[in-house]
Amino acid sequence: MLTPMSKIEIIGSRKHFQDALDKLQSWGKLHLQKLPIEESTSGGPEKAFLKPIIFDENQARDKELREELKKTLEEIINHIPKKTLSAIKDKESTKWIRDEVATMPPKDGLFFATSIQEKVRPLVKLQSSLLEEQSVVSEYERVIKSLLPLISKHEKKAAWGFLGIIIDKRQKDILKPLEEQLEEITRSNYALFPAEMGGNRIAAMIGYEKRYADGVKDLLLGEGISELRVPAEFKDKPFEEAIVLLRQRLQDLPKELEKAQKAISDFFLENGPKILALRNANHDQLLQYEATINFAHSRYIFVIKAWVPTEGIEELKSLLTSKFHGEVLLNELTIQHGQEDQVPVTFKNRLPVRAFENLIKFFSIPMYGTIDPSALVCFFFPLFFGIILGDVGYGGVLGLVGIIVYFKGRKKQILEDIAILTIIMAISSIFFGFIYGEFFGEQEWFKPAIPQLARAHVANTQVVMNYLLLTVNIGLVHIVLALFLGILVSFKRRHTKHAIEGIARLGVLIGIFFASLGGNFLVIPDLMNLLPRVFLPIGLGMAIVSLPVLVYTGGFVASLELISLVGNVLSYARLMALGMASVAFTMVAIVFKDMFSNVVLGMTIFAGVHLFNLLLHVFTPTIQSLRLLYVEFFTKFFVPGGRPYEPFRKIGGE
């Protein structure tokens, strides 16, 4: 359900404004509303009475310093290693640290942050340089190892210089014209040694008389070929000596890098709790500045308008009374008709329904005063999923995954909700697996609870027809429920004409259905004579009476939309089609298992087909079940466009 909300107005002595703001932020349940200066608490003009709150010089300077502090702290926190960040979050809650930073002026906070920044930068710079050196040395070692056998075959001349290049294999054609230009520039005093490296790269070493160094480098620059960066300490070393030094350096670098990383971690373990606490306190203070633009004041009072969960009004009244002794008052205001789009929306559901709220939010937030479909989605989404997957074995695997995710992700609500949703889907799959009599597609493990729906017996056309009728009848119930909810929502929103149109549409649909059954117009053996023939005139009467009302309230187009309703109902046949596709995959797996004399090979292919089928028929039923809910169901009654509930509270930097 949607949490009932109330519109309130808080009026108090101006001297208590800051204290009231602190209390309201700590309470953390007000959704603030911008106060138009054109309207007052009595409904009359108030331009001469209430004015927007404008920061004075000290407040403006304070806000400016806090913005600068926020940027400085963000830069520092970005350098905290993830493991260290997790380790210090517990220390962050230490009370004495929070009390210390809560009263710290922004100027002092900025001084502290700047001093931390100056200490962090050298540590981070050292770590970055070591990482960069490790990358360069590793690359250079690979190049030399590739080229050394080639170079060793040639005479190395003391007056020669060498440089390395790396090009893409797709550019290998550039080597021949490069040699021609090198020959011209160096007057044939050069050597070019190419060698293929891993991946799609070619390394090459160019040897040349040192007096031609500038010409060679200009040539490479003109061709857009980058010279391989060589560590300075190895630049003038012979190749045999360089490779030994490189390997030694590669052994030393991880130790130096580990030492640098430990220095960073130790530094943040000591200073991190205060940094994070300061970040949180500063962020919450900035939120107060952002919130202040929603308020108004006069010479003596301040006024705040907000939305609050109705169940919290008494608690808020007690809070204000105990703190301000009648000098800050709370008034409840009437929510006028037509203001529903201004009311913030928050859900109030318990598990397991709460786990399905995200599926609603993914579509849209419902308008306040309408219907929260979370409970309906909690029932129908697993139902559709189970009808499609419907296998005890698959359901068991899916349930195991859900349980693992639940215990691994209990600290995060989103993961907990996904886990619960997965477990419910698994239960539905297991339930329908017993109805169909399927365990990884096998029929011998147990008998189906309803033999008429043993869908694996595809040779029995009646079973397949029963499966189709099951899905279409569920679709009919689903669509009729949606139309009924649409009527209910129209009445709740005082759209009487739309409500009557919905009643007429529902009357025509039910009338046609009754007439079809009563008159045996549906040539389906299982439905023949389901209703007495008296339902034929009753159904025709309902349709004849309802159709003119439908045309009057919704126009001629509304009557044509009845055809689309039939299409909506038939759309649920996709549940049967996808379910039969899943059955086909299990049959393929069984055929493969029996086909091979090699048991290991047969079981491997059997497991592979089942794994693919499980992945495919977890993803596909999820998408198609959501489609039926969003497109066929929600469009009949769901009113999108609700405003999310965003309480004014202390959230720190999270």
Which stretches of the chain score pLDDT less than 50?
39-48, 521-528
Please work out, in degrees rounded to the nearest 5, the angle formed at the alpha carbon of residue 497 by the alpha carbons of 494 and 503.
Answer: 105
Same domain, yes or no: 206 and 300: no
User: In which residue are the tokens 């001084």 written?
Assistant: 111
Residues 513-523 have pLDDT tens digits of 777 665 554 44
- Report the number of distinct structural domains present in the chain: 3
230 and 282 together in one domain: no
417 lies in the same domain as 456: yes
User: In this structure, is residue 446 part of a structural domain?
Assistant: yes
Confidence (pLDDT) at 405? 87
- What is the C-alpha end-to-end distance of the chain, expressed in Å? 28
Q: Per the domain annotation, does 119 fall within a domain? A: no
Note the pLDDT of residue 459.
63
360 shares a domain with 315: no
- Assess whether 404 and 536 both reside in one domain: yes
Q: Is residue 503 part of a domain?
A: yes
- Asked whether residue 289 falls in the same domain as residue 359, the answer is no
Kindly state whether residues 423 and 508 are assigned to the same domain. yes
Per-residue pLDDT, 167: 78
Same domain for 417 and 538, yes or no, is: yes
| pTM across the whole model | 0.69
* Segments in 296-412 forming alpha helices (H): 313-324, 357-363, 374-389, 392-408
| Same domain, residue pair 460 and 585 | yes
pLDDT at residue 642, rounded to an integer: 86
The verdict on residue 124 lying in a domain is: no
Would 117 be classed as within a structural domain?
A: no
The answer to whether residue 160 is domain-embedded is: yes
Residue 648 inside a domain? The answer is no
Question: CA-CA distance, 340 to 490, in Å (whole number)?
Answer: 13
Domain finish residue from 291, 312, 342: 342
Q: Residue 77 has what pLDDT? A: 87
Query: What is the DSSP annotation of 509-522?
Result: HHHHHHHHHHTT-S
- Cβ burial, residue 606 (10 Å; 0-12/13-18/19+): buried
Structural domain contains residue 262: no
Check residue 424 and give its pLDDT: 93
Domain enclosing residue 188, as ranges: 130-253
Both 185 and 58 in one domain: the answer is no
User: Phi and psi at residue 490, in whole multiples of 5°?
Assistant: -60, -40
Residue bearing tokens 């419907």:
390
H or E element at residue 604: helix 599-627
pLDDT at 521: 47
Are residues 244 and 278 located together in one domain of the fold? no
